[in-house]
Amino acid sequence: MTIILALILITIASTAIIFATFTGKPDLLFQSKKKNIAEKTEINTQWKEIAINPPLKATRQSQNILIQIPEINDWNYTDDKTKPQLITKDGTLIDIDVILIDQNEEEIVLQPVSIGSSIGFAMSKKDGGAFFDKNKEFKTLRLRSTHPITAQNIIWYNWTGK
């Protein structure tokens, strides 16, 4: 009986995942919300400030800033293992600084925490990782890079994990 129940639950879960994937709605499974912050944004050695209106607010369990940069191919951790450098397709090492500024002008420094079709930026693990204070509202995103790059999209990703 237990085995049959387990097989039924696995079948239901698998069907839900397949359905969500094929209908283009995987966010249903992870209860996520996305907010587009900017598109086609040039990032260079000068600080670029993007005003966010309405401000970003943590409404789910975890948050990231996702930055889609097609030129980025991989990442390489520095010797002290605290902040990875991003690697372009031609092998150039790039540091990207990402800072969120809250309603009290407090700066929250983010670092790369995931890489895929977009680079996920969140607080370091010692600062809370992907768990932002739900009482804060972030009104400004500040960016700069050691080499000029173009971000295709910058997104606030708010989700509740499995």
Which range of residues forms the domain containing residue 154? 31-159
Q: Within this chain, do residues 129 and 55 fall inside the same structural domain, yes or no?
A: yes
Q: Say what the pLDDT of residue 106 is.
A: 93
Query: Shortest CA distance to 106 belongs to which of 42, 54, 55?
Result: 55
Q: Within this chain, do residues 101 and 42 fall inside the same structural domain, yes or no?
A: yes
pLDDT category, 151, cuts 50, 70, 90? very high
Q: Within this chain, do residues 112 and 137 fall inside the same structural domain, yes or no?
A: yes
Evaluate whether 72 touches 86 at the Cβ level (below 8 Å): yes
pLDDT category, 153, cuts 50, 70, 90? very high
Q: Within this chain, do residues 21 and 94 fall inside the same structural domain, yes or no?
A: no
Q: Tell me how many domains the chain contains.
A: 2
Q: How far apart are CA 104 and CA 88, in angstroms?
A: 35
Tell me which of 3-12, 64-73, 134-143 is least confident: 3-12
Q: Which amino acid is at 138?
A: F
pTM of the model: 0.75
Report the SS3 class of residue 5. helix
pLDDT tens digits along 63-116: 889 999 998 988 887 666 567 888 899 999 999 999 999 999 999 999 888 888
Residue 152 has pLDDT above 90, yes or no: yes
Q: Say what the pLDDT of residue 20 is.
A: 44
Q: Within this chain, do residues 17 and 38 fall inside the same structural domain, yes or no?
A: no
Strand partners, 94: 86
Q: Within this chain, do residues 129 and 49 fall inside the same structural domain, yes or no?
A: yes
Report the SS3 class of residue 20. helix
Q: Say what the pLDDT of residue 99 is.
A: 95
Q: In what order do the strands lie in the sheet with 93-94?
A: 72-77, 84-88, 93-94
Report the SS3 class of residue 46. coil
Q: Within this chain, do residues 64 and 110 fall inside the same structural domain, yes or no?
A: yes
pLDDT category, 135, cuts 50, 70, 90? confident
Q: Within this chain, do residues 72 and 52 fall inside the same structural domain, yes or no?
A: yes
Evaluate whether 44 touches 145 at the Cβ level (below 8 Å): yes
DSSP letter for 10, please.
Answer: H
Q: Within this chain, do residues 19 and 67 fall inside the same structural domain, yes or no?
A: no
pLDDT tens digits along 15-66: 544 444 444 444 444 567 889 999 999 999 999 999 999 998 888 777 889 9
Report the SS3 class of residue 73. strand
